[in-house]
A and B are shown apart, each in its own frame.
Chain A
Amino acid sequence: MNTDHHVILRVIAKMLIPVITMFAFYVQFHGDFGPGGGFQAGVIIAVAVILYALVFGVSAAMRAVPPVFTRSLAAVGVMIYAGVGFWALLQGGHYLEYQALFHEGPGEHHGQHIGIMVIEIGVLCGVAGAMLTIFYAFAGRVAEIRDEDW
């Protein structure tokens, strides 16, 4: 689809994109133990898709990750986060009170772990979706980046 002089870029990007995505999930689920969390992981996932868009073209990226999916993902992420709050309300606690999720007393941590994990997934979806929506909004207005632009 392109002329051939970006072949090294394409091969390297093909190798790196799965690693970047995997690293994002590591950051997501290792946030309890080290630096990182949903926000950073969401940005890293968005960056993986953006790298794909930069190397293979925005239209290829839009076929792989459609814009309608990214903006739904952003909304669903915020809804997941807010939904945990309502889950706690329904269990009789305060809004976002993780201790109330499974009716635990002080010193029990199951609700804290589950609650934090679910809201971090919400943050991941919200941030990744919003970042990709912003990127598509800018990149969709630019025609193909020609070689003389660099």
Chain B
Amino acid sequence: MHSMFNGDFGIILVNIFLLAMLFAAAVAIARMRSLFAIVMLSGIYSLVSAAWYVAVDAVDVAFTEAAVGAGMSTVVLLGAMLLTSRTAKPEKPFSRLGPFLVCLATGAALIYATVDLPALGDATSAANTGVGYTYLQVAWFDTAIPNVVTPVLASYRGFDTLGETTVVFTAGLAVALLLGFGERSLAERIRNEGRSGDERRSKKASAASDEDPS
């Protein structure tokens, strides 16, 4: 009862509020058929989870989640949605039963696993002992950079970050190889845009120019 009156109570309320919003967004996404609304809700989901990462002091992760999840992937999903239809197909009754059972089993396993997790900020947890603690001790002497995340990512684990950059580059390359660089379907329009007002190219025409082997 004493903990109701110290500073933790507000943080607990914020956590409950943010997690409830995440849950509501997830349920809404699962129940909706309009793809546009689903894409927007997934952006909201990312933004709320970024706020929650701030609440648990993972500021760098929150930053990345807000930039990539709420900004970038929402736009890419929107672009992908515009290439397909606007609504998902209605499902047969009971076809959701299998996925629902899988979700239920996975969720139960995850909740069972959280029992073994250390508390947030536990000084004896694996993250705060061992190599993480060593980084905190030696990073200032080694690199003189105040934000310990930066030397860990860029210096101690420079190979990992090089790998991540290569992964991002490879992802871009793979998408471009699969979908084209995007300029062929638009090249004609960009050339003509100065003199003609023909903005309304039909989707069929652009699909036809994509098939063009030249």
Contact = CB atoms under 8 A, between A and B. Distances in A.
Interface residues of B, number: 64
Counting chain A residues whose Cβ lies within 8 A of the other chain, the interface size class is 35 or more
A62 B183 CA distance: 8
Interface in A106-150: 106-107, 109, 112-113, 115-116, 119-120, 122-123, 126-127, 129-131, 133-146, 149-150
Interface of B: 36, 59-60, 62-64, 67-68, 71-72, 75-76, 79-80, 82-83, 86, 141-147, 149-151, 153-155, 158-159, 161-162, 164-166, 168-169, 171-173, 175-176, 178-186, 189-190, 193, 199-203, 205-206, 210
Interface string A10-34: 0000000000000000010001111
28 contacts: A32-B150, A46-B72, A62-B183, A67-B182, A67-B183, A71-B181, A75-B169, A78-B166, A78-B169, A81-B161, A82-B162, A112-B142, A113-B143, A113-B144, A119-B158, A119-B162, A123-B165, A134-B175, A136-B183, A140-B180, A140-B184, A141-B79, A141-B182, A141-B185, A142-B83, A142-B206, A143-B201, A150-B36
A43 interface: yes
Among all A-B residue pairs, the 6 with the closest Cβ atoms: A140-B182, A130-B172, A138-B79, A136-B182, A137-B179, A109-B144
Nearest to A120: B154
A112 B151 contact: yes
Nearest to A82: B162
Specify which of A2, A131, A140 lies most central, judged by the most chain B CB atoms within 10 Å of its CB. Answer: A140
Given A40-B64, A43-B72, A96 B185 contact: no
B3 to A, nearest CB: 29
A67 B60 CA distance: 30
Nearest to B68: A43
A140 B183 contact: yes
A39 to B, nearest CB: 7
A58 to B, nearest CB: 6
Contacts of A134: 76, 171-172, 175-176
A129 B172 contact: yes
Nearest to A112: B143
Given A112-B143, A119-B158, A137-B182, A35 B176 contact: no
